[in-house]
A and B are shown apart, each in its own frame.
Chain A
Amino acid sequence: SQQGEEDPQALSIQEGENATMNCSYKTSINNLQWYRQNSGRGLVHLILIRSNEREKHSGRLRVTLDTSKKSSSLLITASRAADTASYFCATPQGGSEKLVFGKGTKLTVNP
């Protein structure tokens, strides 16, 4: 079963624009993670935000977490063609190390 649900399913923007992806989840969590997957490659861990954090930054990435709404957003600023990939949110299930992934948002950044 999938815990996280990303929105939108697909997003196409121009280089230099910002990209925002959202994730909603169903049960209480202690952290939420975002991963990136380039075509034909494995997943790369981008950022982890804990349930007691509201916002976190890493380079051009900004992640927010609203536990009351059970939602998170990933903002990529000043996007580049190399940011073209699928982005997944993942949450631990039942407090365990088992990560449950959403279906992902496919981001295309046009040069």
Chain B
Amino acid sequence: EAGVVQSPRYKIIEKKQPVAFWCNPISGHNTLYWYRQNLGQGPELLIRYENEEAVDDSQLPKDRFSAERLKGVDSTLKIQPAELGDSAVYLCASSSYFVSPDTQYFGPGTRLTVL
């Protein structure tokens, strides 16, 4: 079974530039999560999708961050414009309500550096 796929793995941009991250969850997983992990910290949830609906986006900085999950499968997280403080690892995870709703499966993450 293929795991959660994320791309790109690394991204270096200058501040004020836009950036986008892509995630392909495990096949059949209806729940998708985006987390941000700052250096030396644990992941913090940005947004959670149930199928194509964003059910928890309370931690998403909506002035510059946006996300979408078309057709309830792949998802894209965008930052525009990026700021220096956005440098972090962005992790995508998925879970299946029907198999094991409490267990999240993580992708390798995208390490973003904003210069």
Contact surface of A with B, Cβ cutoff 8 Å: 2, 4, 31, 33, 35, 40-45, 48, 88, 90, 92, 96-104
Chain A residues contacting B101 (CB-CB under 8 Å) are 97
Do A98 and B109 touch across chains, with their CB atoms under 8 A apart?
Answer: no
Contact surface of B with A, Cβ cutoff 8 Å: 4, 31, 40-45, 48, 56, 91, 93, 95, 101-109, 111
Q: Contacts A33-B102, A92-B102; is A98 near B56 (CB within 8 Å)? A: yes
| Apart from A33-B102, A40-B108, 17 more pairs, CB < 8 Å | A41-B108, A42-B91, A42-B107, A42-B108, A44-B106, A45-B103, A45-B104, A48-B102, A90-B42, A97-B31, A97-B102, A100-B45, A101-B44, A103-B40, A103-B41, A103-B42, A104-B42
- Nearest Cβ distance between residue B21 and chain A, in whole angstroms? 13
Q: Contacts A42-B108, A45-B103; is A88 near B42 (CB within 8 Å)? A: yes
Rounded to whole angstroms, the CA-CA distance of A96 and B111 in the bound complex is: 28
Rounded to whole angstroms, the CA-CA distance of A67 and B4 in the bound complex is: 33
Chain A residues contacting B42 (CB-CB under 8 Å) are 2, 4, 88, 90, 101-104
Closest to B31 in A: A97
Closest to A6 in B: B42
Contact of B102 among A31, A42, A88, A100 (CB under 8 A): A31
Chain B residues contacting A92 (CB-CB under 8 Å) are 102
